[in-house]
A and B are shown apart, each in its own frame.
Chain A
Amino acid sequence: MLTVQGLDVAYGRAQVLFGVDLVAPGGSLVCVMGRNGVGKTTLLKAIMGVLPVRAGRVSFAGEDITGLKTHERVRRGLGYVPPGHETFPQLTVAENLQVAAEAAGQVSQGAVDEALDLFPALPALLKRRAGFLSGGQQQQLAIARALVSRPKMLLLDEPTEGIQPSIILEIEEAVQRLHSELGLAILLVEQYLDLALRLADRFVILDAGEVVRAGDRSDLRDPSVHSLLSV
């Protein structure tokens, strides 16, 4: 469903990604792993068109989307949750969801309800300003926001980073449910091996901007994987 070929990305003169290849079939949960600063977030941003690509191509659902603007990629069915539980802080929770639903073209109350259904904590907070929610609540809102456009594939960048443990479980369950019950394809950036072992079908490990390992979940148990992830 999502294919990345030979992707080079640079911030000015500092190149971050070198010829990255990645395949995420429909309905799969692919985990992008690696230490801090190896280019995981950059890869997701490049897939979303937030960062320009220097070379290589990104195709989604059979279409080359390398030249498309970010909002056009969202229209094609990519949903993205950036790192660090981002919201529109001065908008209410309801407005945060509304903006995304309206931007997706059809304002569908059904899609908003489905997204809220996944996070039982949110409906009670609809009238609160997003900036005043806890980090965990903001992250749940961020995921719900990405879901109201009914994406075919969801890109999640470290959704449990810096979140209180009780909410980490809820988020993990939600991701699990989206994947197994609803069959949503997911590209998950994650640093922790145990979480990846629980969730992922396939994985890709980046090191210094290059793919150094890729394989199925079973390959993750290989002892050499550990050395690629530990600091």
Chain B
Amino acid sequence: MATLNQLVIGASIGAVLLLIALGLTFTFGQMGVINMAHGEFIMAGAYTAYLLQPLVGTQSVLVALPVAFAVAGVLGLILERLAIRHFYGRPLDTLLLTWGISLILQQVARDIFGAPNVQVRAPGWLTGGLDLGGVRLPYNRVFIMVLAVGCVVAIWLYLTRMRHGRRMRAVMQNRQLAAVSGVATERVDQLTFFIGSGLAGVAGVALTLIGPVGPTLGTNYIVDAFLVVVAGGLGQLRGAVIAAFALGILNSFVEFWVDNGASFAKVVVFAVIIAFLQLRPQGMFVVRTRALS
């Protein structure tokens, strides 16, 4: 029974990782940008929920989700316009640049909200849980999973059914051909940044349901999210889904089985991913066509 409880916890962490990794995998797949400041969009989303709480009251989480999406999305857009776009095609410089911005944003949060963690109170219907013969399904964790699944389905529909999503896939697959087909690639880049950062903001709101909010909230998750991107295959929706849940669940089980397992779980997760990448350096899924051979 404890095993199943652990599965629920792991899957909900996996769901959060997935929301974070989606943005990373799109910005990397489309623009070749490794965005180290992505974690700070999570933080921005979480603090958005914190600020909305006194204004909106007990149901603030529901309001916070769309608002955090917009806030984090606009932050991402500003970052792209002001800084990152001047560094396209220079991945190492982008890495340093976004890392620096990440530190700045953390300090800004520290100055505004203070260094100690703050709490966001979950609405009543998200506290407690459902008992199924000894297996406990905490409502907040179920909510997070539903949220992540909903976001993935929405993204999938966007990419496959909608005009702008189709355009985004075209730019991801062949930027120059998209431009000579009449696609305004810069606009598509901006939109990708907006959506990717917005999803990180949503992840931030989800994290307020299971823990405190602090200036380094994003840092705790960004490395794992990068692991999801690498293991899942760059720019691959399917790979990201599988890798995120596998990572979250593996992590939660090792933490449970070993005393003081938090650090040990990290070791195990890293070892597993290193071993996996030895077998499949390109990640779980890759684009394979005649065109690339």
Contacts and interface: CB of A to CB of B under 8 A. Distances in A.
**Count class of interface residues, chain B:** 20 to 34
Contact of B181 (A69, A100, A133): A100
Interface residues of A, number: 32
23 contacts: A70-B180, A71-B183, A71-B184, A71-B185, A82-B176, A87-B174, A88-B173, A88-B174, A88-B177, A90-B169, A90-B287, A98-B166, A99-B170, A99-B178, A99-B181, A102-B163, A103-B178, A103-B183, A131-B290, A133-B290, A134-B290, A146-B180, A146-B181
A86 interface: yes
A163 interface: no
Given A88-B170, A102-B167, A82 B179 contact: no
A82 B179 CA distance: 11
A132 interface: yes
Interface string B223-267: 000000000000000000000000000000000000000000000
B289 interface: yes
Given A98-B166, A102-B163, A103-B167, A89 B179 contact: no
Interface string B107-124: 000000000000000000
B179 A71 contact: yes
Interface centre among B169, B173, B186, B291 (most CB of A within 10 A): B291
Contact of B292 (A89, A98, A99): A89
Interface string B186-204: 1000000000000000000
Interface in B31-89: none
Given A80-B180, A89-B173, A104-B182, A95 B166 contact: yes
B287 A87 contact: no
Interface in A62-98: 69-71, 74-75, 80, 82, 86-91, 95, 98
A130 B163 CA distance: 18
Contacts of A89: 173-174, 287, 289-292
B169 A88 contact: yes
Contacts of B184: 69, 71, 103
Nearest to A130: B291
Contacts of A71: 179, 182-185
A126 B169 CA distance: 17
Contacts of A134: 290
A138 B170 CA distance: 15
Interface string B140-173: 0000000000000000000000010011011001
B167 A99 contact: yes
A188 interface: no
Nearest to A131: B289
A145 interface: yes
B290 A103 contact: no
A88 B178 CA distance: 8
B181 A74 contact: yes
Given A89-B291, A129-B289, A103 B177 contact: no
Interface centre among B170, B176, B289, B292 (most CB of A within 10 A): B170
